[in-house]
Amino acid sequence: MKKIKLLDNFAWAGWFHLALEQSIWKENVECIGYSEIDKFAKQVYGERFPGAKDLWSITEIDIDWLEDFDIVTGWFPCQDVSVAGKQSLEWGRTVLVEYLLQILEQKQPKYFVFENVKGLMSKKFDTFRESIFERIEQAGYGFSYKVLNTKDFWLPQNRERVFIVGWLSQN
């Protein structure tokens, strides 16, 4: 089976990387790099996936120098759109999704998975969310999104998250 190459952003402790390795791909996942700035999360990621290249912050990645990859993930910051947060894009954390969109536009990986809090889907952020969706479509991707709750997956918490999953539909 061909290795699937992963670029893991806002990677925290590598949950998506781990999920891929525990799926049908098993040992056929090759992480070309990950971006994360939290020192404790980076320590866990590095111990869990010792061969993965630490790219530090997504804001520091030179997209032109990235090797090709099949899937990009991004659990971009949610503080600005969370009901527990500021409910304002002025703080500037959630807008880091811009870097994920630039990666899609320039590198054109086959797939992507982005995650954020349910608050991204609120009416207050319609314009922001629709601008993200428009950029994804303009980059040549089909996509689907759904709000999922961790409690529906046998986890002892009630956390709603929106997952945006896409595939390259144009060559």
Distance CA 113, CA 165 (A): 5
Distance CA 14, CA 7 (A): 11
Active site residue 78: yes
Residue 98, Cβ density class (10 Å: 0-12 exposed, 13-18 middle, ≥19 buried): middle
Q: What per-residue string of b and e applies to 20-56 under the rule 16 or more CB within 10 Å gives b?
A: bbeeebeeebbbbbbbbeeeebbeebbeebeebeebe
Task: Give ∠ CA 14-15-21 in degrees, rounded to 5.
Answer: 90
Distance CA 77, CA 80 (A): 8
Q: Which residue is catalytic, options 78, 104, 117, 120?
A: 78
Task: Give ∠ CA 53-136-62 in degrees, rounded to 5.
Answer: 30
Catalytic residues: 78
